[in-house]
Every structure is written in C-alpha cells, then in structure tokens.
Amino acid sequence: MHPKMSVKLAGLVLRSPLIVASGVLGSSTRLIKKVSENPSVGAVVTKTVTYNPRPGYENPTAIDLGFGFLNAMGLPNPGYLEYRKELSEIKDLAIPLIVSIGPSNSEEAAEMVKALNDVSDGFELNLSCPHAEKLGLEVGSDPEKVRSIVSSARRCTTKPLFVKISPNVTDVVEIARAAVEAGVDAVTAINTMKSIAIDVNAGKPVLSNVYGGLSGKAIHPIAVRIVYELYEAIKIPIVGCGGVYDWRDAVELILAGATAVQIGSAIVYSRSDLNILNEIEKGIIEYLKDKGFNNVMEIVGLAHTS
Amino acid sequence: MFEKAHYYIEAEVESNIMETSRVNTLTLKLDRFINIKPGQFLMVWRPGDGEIPITPSLTQGNTICLTIEKVGFTSNRLANLKVGEKVFLRGPYGNGFNLEHPGKYLLVGGGTGAASLTPAYLKLVEKGVYTLFLVGGRNIENLVYVNKLREIKANIQIATDDGSEGFHGTLPELFKKTVSEDFFENVLTIGPEKMMFKIAEECLKRGMSCQVSLVRIVKCGIGFCGSCVLDPVGLRICVEGPVFNASEILGTDFGFYMRDEMGRRIEVTL
C-alpha cells in the first residue's frame, strides 16, 4: 500500500481509490479473491444480484465496439439467496467487498440487504442498469422510487451504502439528492449509457434486447461531467465510474470530485490482466509527487474554482 | 483499441450436409479471411435466432465448415439453414490447441468433437507429425464427420457403444485397450465432458500431456460476464480456454459441474 493512495470513503478505509466495478470479474468467488490479491485494488464490487434468479437475455448480449462495450446481459444471476451461499465461501479478503444489488422495490431491497449483510462490507444499489425491465434505470429514474428503496435499505444496514446512478436521466442531481436525503453514504456515477448498435450487413440491431448499455472510453467525458455536477450539488462522497483506461482518466474524475474511481471496461480490454490497475496507480502516485501532494484526497474536486 | 471496421463477419451458406439425424455440417463462404487456430471458436449469430459458440470443423481460406448439433433453439435454427442464407460471425475467440509440443499425437473426438478436432488433425499431418484419430459415437448412425475423415484418408479408429461400427465400446475403453502406455506423447480431446474426464484421468495416470476443449454457456464471449467460468479456479472458457491442460483442470468442477443461464451450479450429465 502506498501512503499517498489510502482514502477514506463512506466509513471505509481503502488502501487505494481504485475499485473494480460491478459486472467485471466480480462474478465468481475465485475471481473476486484473485482481484483482491492485487495491491492496487482498493475494493471490489460484485456483479448485481436480484431478488429472483434471472437467466438474462438471449445472445448476442455483448459486443466490442472498439471505443467501448455495448452490453445487454439482462442481469443474469442466481438470485440473492443462492449468491449468499457463494459469498459466504469467501474468507479473509484483504479489501472491502461491496455487494451490488438490484431491487425493484423497497421490500426487495430490505430483504436482500438483511440477508446479505453479514457477507458484505457494504452495498451498491444498482438503480441504473439501462436494460432490465422493472429494475435498474426503470426505478432509478424516478426520484420517489429511489427515495423509497434507499430508505428501506438504509433501515436494514449500518454498513456503507452506495447508490449507482444513471446518466440516462434529465437531471442526475435530482436523483442523487433523493438518495442523499434517504440516507445513502456515497453516490457512484455513472452506469452505462443506453445505446443501440446495428450491424449494417445483417441490417438488424446486434443485441437481442435491441437496447444495451455503453461502457468504456466513449462515456468517459460524460462521467466527468456528471461527477463535476454532483460535486457542486451534494455533500457526500462520489465514486467516479466510466471509461477509466489510464491514470489521466482517473485523475480527471478525482479532480472533478470523485473520492474513488471504479474501473471496468479497461480490465476487459486488457484481457483481464490486472496489471492495468498497477499502471494506473503508479501514474496517479507520480502525478501527486510531481504536483507536490501528500495524498490523493487532497486533489478531490480541485478542478472546481470555488 | 479504437478499430471498428465491422461488427460481424458476414458468411453465406454454400452447402448444408446432414451428418446424423441430430447433426448437420454447414459450409460457409466468409466475406473476408480470418485466421482461426485449431480449437478456437467463433460466435455464430442469426438475427432473431440467437448466437452460440462453435469450433469450426474445417478452415480453408475464406471457406469454413461448422458442424452443429441440434441441442437448443439457436443450434436447431442454424443447423437447418438453406444454401444462400446468411449467418454472422465474430471471433475467433479463445486460445486453441497447442500443437507445438514434440512427439506423436492421439486425437479423441466424441460426437461432434470428431468434427471440431479435424482442423487440428489436418495441421498436425501437414507438419508431418504422426497422428492417430479415435472417433466415437453411440452407434453407426451417430458417427459424425467419418465420411469426411475417410475422404481425406485420415488415420482413424472408430468406437461405437453398441459395436455397430468399429470397436464395441466407449472411447475411453478403446483408448485403454489399444493405446500402449508410451506410444503417444500428446492427447487432444473434444466431446462429451464425462468422456473427456475419463481420457484426462487416464492420461494423467500415464504421464501423457492431454489438452481438453471444454463447453460451457458462453454469453459475452469476451471475458467479463462470468457465464463460462470454471470454478473454483476461476478460469474463463472464452478467454483462458476453451482448451485446458488436463493437469490444470482435474480436481476442479471439470467433469462434474457447470453453470446454468442464471449462473447456478448444476451437474454435468453427459
């Protein structure tokens, strides 16, 4: 652990502000363990589990567009009870394990949080998946539903509670404020952008679900903009997420106001070689050294003039 | 990283041959050349019909063959395509077989595995490596690709469970009976997982190198969704596989468990 990199986030002390984003690698317990052994990783977020088991959508469910991935997996998962069994097999993780849950209402949120509370170090509420019916964005675009789900989860745990919000709304600040008022500890921004890819030879949308979520390089400036907006509007920590490929991308989000940064697509592009996280960490440390900062927390939100 | 000329490779069906009542071989003409190593796979898509991983049974310039067993909706639709119809391919994905190991090779293909192993066979023969190909099926009606292998005068031995063709018994039985302890240095196998498991165990016992090609539910095909992960080692069929050294996967879920579409652990039955 490098002293410059340790951050405090929502009651957690992270050895690094770099977090492995939901849906990447955090799917099998063995992969989670493997990820946690990398010293540059500060925390890991699991793939999203839902109340009921979901098979997800028919293939094609994902495509590499070069500048990012477009996916509509449809949140396939064995359901929270089955996943609880898997998570309980994870022992002695060196870093916090954040469990991503995708409730469709406050009752589901309460039951999932209660059931998973002792196998997690915190929760990230996925209220932003752009391609699942009655879940994710469908509840996450309504401030009242966000308020009711967050309050319900809040009542069931004292562990750090994150809410992952979507860029696919007119006013992200309104959604984030609803979550803050309902007691969330930090906001993760952003989830994927709702998108479509059409194969010109086939003449049809590639994804079986037609609509998918775009991640990767293409959405990075959108993430920076939303983190910047949120930093001006809310008082709780922000976790930046979206197209972080190198240390510059990470620093950009931190300067915009993020206390920590999640990384997803870049790990997939590097064929899951986690060295990319070491490279990003090294770059941030160099940057801090160059600019004369002692710790990464000193640069959070520095891009704001006020 | 930023190249995006096409999403998919377009391919037209040139012929569709019925191998058995459950298996067809499509010959496809691709709109461009792609270099596919023996054992790598393609994701094969028909809009509206879904997309599945298939290891080609022949690759020759812009022409490839796909030998497809009708197991689900997508494979049924693909296996019934007519001449002139289009399919769309992405890939190749996965690692493929390592054919650089010195020594003689024994190939063990069960069911459509015989077809999927054929590119490896041809490559080895081209390199002048001595190769014997064991091909198996439940009975004479269920042997896949044998006509093709006979046409190219491949060095094959056949096993059928009921003895209707060749050796009377399973491929692992044929392997134990006819392959002497120290003749082959390398074994490659594709087929039903229980069969491959027995071959892998026998190879380990004999100290032979054995490469196994695994089948799992592949969704994204690019390594992030976790659908095809082999636990508890966390190896992904679509990135680290589909070919694994037997020594690397014996003692894992190989031969016993896979994951269903929801990611639940279920038993391997075949």
All structural domains of chain A, each given as residue ranges with its CATH number in brackets, are 7-299 (3.20.20.70)
Closest-CA residue of chain B to A53: B262
- Delimit the domains of chain B by residue range: 9-93, 97-213, 215-270
> Nearest CA of chain A to the CA of B5: how many Å?
9
**Residue B231's pLDDT band (cuts 50, 70, 90):** confident
Which of A27-31, A177-181, A219-223, B3-7 is predicted least confidently? B3-7
Which CATH homologous superfamily contains domain B9-93? Answer: Translation factors (2.40.30.10)
Please answer whether residues B136 and B11 qualify as being in contact, where contact means their C-beta atoms are separated by less than 8 angstroms: no
Q: Across the interface, do A59 and B232 touch by the CB < 8 Å criterion?
A: no
Q: How far does B265 lie from chain A, in Å, by closest CA? A: 9
The residue that leads in pLDDT, B180 or B47, is: B47
Using an 8 Å Cβ cutoff, are A58 and B261 in contact?
A: no
- Judge whether residue A270 has pLDDT over 50: yes
Give me the pLDDT at residue A39, please. Answer: 95
> Would you state the structure tokens that stand for residue B167, as one six-digit string?
């050796």
Q: Looking at residue A161, what is its pLDDT? A: 98
B138 at the A interface (CB within 8 A)? no
Residue-level pLDDT at B3: 54
Percent of chain B residues topping a pLDDT of 70: 98
User: Would you state the pLDDT for residue B226?
Assistant: 85
pLDDT at residue B6, rounded to an integer: 63
Q: What six digits make up the tokens of A86?
A: 């898997």
- For the residues B96-109, what does the mean pLDDT come to? 97
Phi-psi domain of A241 (left: phi exceeds 0; alpha: psi -120 through 50; beta: other): beta
Whether A108 contacts A75, CB under 8 Å: no
Q: Of the candidates B45, B231, B264, which has its C-beta nearest A28's C-beta?
A: B231
Which positions ≥6 away from A118 have C-beta within 8 Å? none
For chain B, counts of helices (H) and of strands (E): 6, 18
CATH architecture group of domain B97-213: 3-Layer(aba) Sandwich (3.40)
Examine the pLDDT at B1 and tell me if it is beyond 50.
no
Active site residues of A: 129
Q: What is the pTM of this model?
A: 0.92
Q: How far is B42 from chain A (nearest CA, A)?
A: 13
CB pairs under 8 A between A and B: 131
